[in-house]
Chain A
């Protein structure tokens, strides 16, 4: 599946965000609206996580069957900024931790690494075994603000059945039909 702006708007809607710029609100499924991450005024330059860095992280975390687009990340980040700019700063900090470690391990930014090298950076940081903790440091902080952040965005926005044949994961307003559907038909 391909994660697009539409999926990001779905995720943001589940989070109670109406993606709106200059009075334009994007309903779920409207790919033409949704705001522009370059629109000024929502985050302080330097405190915003780099879109290419988040795309690279999401590509690493999500199964290979999921195609991550920049517009998915852009729209999602923009919506997060509307909710809480300070939260976005934490995401940026978490990514900076990963990127710094990439430099230490390989001398390259995270986005320039191959998939295997990115895995190695995350493993070396201890993200796999870290306990997510919004108040923690290092790997705990990365696990919460980067790893689980992107997974939450995925679970509340993915197309039905993309999540291990789960048609309506909690957090996704998927209606009152799927819980009744037969399995295997």
Chain B
């Protein structure tokens, strides 16, 4: 950890952002002997703080954002038609959003890479699943994924998961009867949560607070790789907000990143190669903030695609009062999911069912309802515990160029830089898929004698935590921002390692794909240097 925030001399590579997209590149390149500097807008969170953070998460009286210091003037943004609650989802800190993620790590399916060819939808990736397959395997090893090969819909794999998966829950056994009735095949979910000691990490201790914080360190977070990078000589400058990238006189080569430290001091970090790994909101923002005479519409934006095609996974939920009790909140993650509807023929877009193990209020939440104590303390449990189950659906959203990130003009952040403006909405396809998924979820819960008591409104659920697709990958510089090597078409030494490069987002959690692409970026940067 560096107390000084002055630039690093003679850096080969400057990595901006320390989530999985940045951390894995940094660790990989540092291990190969390159001089690497990481600039991160947030701060280091000491692992010794995790238990205190867990208490912040569990105790009534906080709003949850304190845990990772999310939001505030630094993280401001604007939305237009739809409210998109970004700051409940993204973390700025060393490790990025993996500090509070749910750690579900499926791979994209083969069809996700070939949507145009197969279905006439969106665009194909300039890669096939087989191109990423070895990187997926490597990413699973790096992140430490526990999983079982019981998903009949999953793409082919040639090696087992690094660790055995977590068995299905008691609640899953109840949901399973409904699924069988309705004809939906359940299977377990892979997680970047250690089921046994792994790479210096503890196995899961069952704290049950995966989102927002894992006190045991069983859940992977990208600060793991930032520390590995440091061990191999990389330098981390935290609380360094990068606000501009500067190129040389030709406009073809980046020379330095300008960043501001908490006291307002501005520095310039020079390097031979730059990797922007700031996620699908801040990556396009940084490129747009870096407009110059040579790149008047923003850096790497000759295609006009920077900021466009923002995708999320809107999550819709169906909750039912059940006749049968299920064990909710005894583990913090989803153990079973279903890819039965990974399909574009029966439904307009794919979706992933997640069978909830945290459908109900946890005890500390329940006591917030109590006005009594002593022998009446647990009275609210009669009405708030053991009563419900839920199925959560992640809906695939297809790319739409009108869903985009731009700059908000005169509205500025803590250092006076224009904040991002997010214009995002759901299309008819996604709404139709969500409605269909809600019907099937209701059928499953009804089949186990549940009574549906609540369903979220797809119109208002928002884009979820998975932000993708604002600097998409492609072979045509007129239609895409980065090449299949994840290098900007317009600049020879700018790489992007982020879900922002996704051409489509499928219906699965994106982080394993971010990690796989990060390892690919490292190979390409190494090849160039």
Number of interface residues of A (CB under 8 A): 47
Q: Are B170 and A171 in contact, with the CB atoms below 8 A?
A: no
Contacting residues of chain B (123-170) with chain A, CB-CB under 8 angstroms: 166-170
The answer to whether A60 and B364 touch across the interface, beta carbons within 8 angstroms, is no
In the assembly, what is the distance between CA of A176 and CA of B330, in Å?
Answer: 8
Flag if B205 contacts A175 (CB, 8 Å): yes
Q: Main secondary structure on chain B at its contact with chain A?
A: loop
In the complex, chain B residues whose CB is within 8 Å of the CB of A155: 363-364
Q: Nearest residue in A to B50 (C-beta to C-beta)?
A: A16
Q: Does B364 contact A171, Cβ atoms closer than 8 Å? A: yes
Known: A63-B378, A148-B60, A152-B55. A176 touches B371 (CB 8 A): no
Q: Please tell me if the beta carbons of A173 and B325 are within 8 angstroms of each other in the complex.
A: no
A126's nearest neighbour on chain B, judged by CB, is: B371
Residues of B close to A178: CB separation below 8 A: 206, 327, 330-331
A61:B208 contact, CB within 8 angstroms: no
- A63, A115, A133: which contacts B377 (Cβ < 8 A)? A63
Q: How far is A62 from B377 in the complex, measured between Cα atoms in Å?
A: 7
A138 CA to B377 CA, complexed, in Å: 21
B207 CB–A CB distance under 8 Å = yes
Known: A128-B371, A148-B59, A179-B169. A61 touches B207 (CB 8 A): no
Known contacts A15-B51, A61-B373; is-contact A144 B363 (Cβ 8 Å): no
Nearest chain A CB to B217 CB, angstrom units: 11
Given contacts A132-B60, A171-B54, contact A176 B166 (CB under 8 A): yes
Contact of A171 among B167, B204, B207 (CB under 8 A): B207
> What residues of chain A lie closer than 8 Å to B205, measured between beta carbons?
173, 175-176
State which of A164, A166, A170, A184 has its C-beta within 8 Å of the C-beta of B209.
A170
A15–B327 touching, CB < 8 Å: no
CB of A111, distance to nearest CB on chain B (Å): 17
Residue of chain A at shortest CB distance from B372 = A128
Of the residues B48, B59, B62, contact of A16 by C-beta under 8 Å: B48
Q: Are A167 and B330 in contact (CB under 8 A)?
A: yes
Query: B207, A119: Cβ atoms under 8 Å?
Result: no
- Picked from A64, A166, A172, A182, the residue with its CB within 8 Å of the CB of B207 is A172
Cβ-Cβ contact count across A and B, 8 Å cutoff: 147
When chains A and B are docked, how far (Å) is the Cα of A48 from the Cα of B378? 29
Minimum CB distance partner of B210 in chain A:
A170
Among A16, A122, A168, the most chain B Cβ lie within 10 Å of the Cβ of A16
A96 within 8 A of B: no
Contacts of B206 in A (CB 8 A): 168, 172-179
Q: A178-B330, A179-B169, A182-B170 are in contact. Are A170 and B58 (CB under 8 A)?
A: yes
Tell me, in angstroms, the Cα distance from A171 to B365 when the chains sit together.
Answer: 12
Whether B55 lies near A15 (C-beta < 8 A) is: yes
Q: How far is the CA of A179 from the CA of B205 in the complex (A)?
A: 12
- Nearest neighbor of B216 in chain A, beta-carbon distance: A173
Q: Provide the residues of chain A in CB contact with B329, threshold 8 Å.
A: 166, 169-170
- Closest residue of chain B to A147, judged by CB? B373
Please, which residue of chain A has its CB at the minimum distance from the CB of B363? A169
> Which residues of chain B in 44-90 are interfacial with respect to chain A, using CB atoms and an 8 Å cutoff?
48, 50-52, 54-55, 58-62
Q: Is the CB of A166 within 8 A of B330?
A: yes
The residue that A180 contacts in the complex, of B59, B167, B216, B368, with Cβ under 8 A, is B167
Chain A residues with CB under 8 A of B215: 14, 16, 173
Question: Considering only CB atoms and an 8 Å cut-off, how many residues of chain B contact the other chain?
Answer: 52
Are A179 and B377 in touch, CB under 8 angstroms?
A: no
Interface set, chain B 336-375, CB cutoff 8 A to A: 357, 362-364, 367-368, 370-375
> Quick one: which of B51, B59, B331 contacts A176, CB cutoff 8 A?
B331
Contact: B55 with A179, CB < 8 Å? no
**Listed residue (B166, B327, B378) with the most chain A CB atoms within 10 angstroms of its CB:** B327
Q: Is A151 an interface residue when CB atoms closer than 8 A count as contact? A: yes
Residues of A within 8 A of B209 (CB): 170-171
Q: Let me know if B332 is at the binding interface, CB within 8 A.
A: yes
- The verdict on A151 contacting B367 (CB below 8 Å), with A170-B332, A179-B330 known, is yes
Interface centre among B58, B204, B362, B370 (most CB of A within 10 A): B58
Interface string of B248-286 (1 = CB under 8 A from A): 000000000000000000000000000000000000000
Contact: A176 with B204, CB < 8 Å? yes
Q: Which residues of A contact B59 (CB under 8 A)?
A: 132, 144, 148, 152
Q: A170-B329, A176-B204 are in contact. Are A134 and B61 (CB under 8 A)?
A: yes
Instruction: Return B172 CB to nearest CB of chain A, in Å.
Output: 9
Bound Cα distance A83, B52 (Å): 9
Instruction: State whether B373 touches A170 (Cβ < 8 A).
Output: no
Type the 1/0 row for A135-179, where 1 means its CB is closer than 8 Å to any CB of B: 000000000100110011001000000011111111111111111
Q: What are 11 A-B pairs at a CB distance below 8 A?
A: A14-B54, A61-B374, A63-B377, A83-B52, A119-B374, A134-B62, A152-B58, A169-B208, A178-B206, A178-B330, A182-B170
Starting from the known contacts A134-B61, A171-B54, A179-B357, 16 additional A-B residue pairs (CB-CB under 8 Å) come to A62-B374, A64-B374, A144-B59, A148-B60, A151-B367, A167-B330, A169-B208, A169-B363, A169-B364, A170-B207, A171-B208, A173-B206, A173-B207, A176-B204, A179-B169, A181-B327
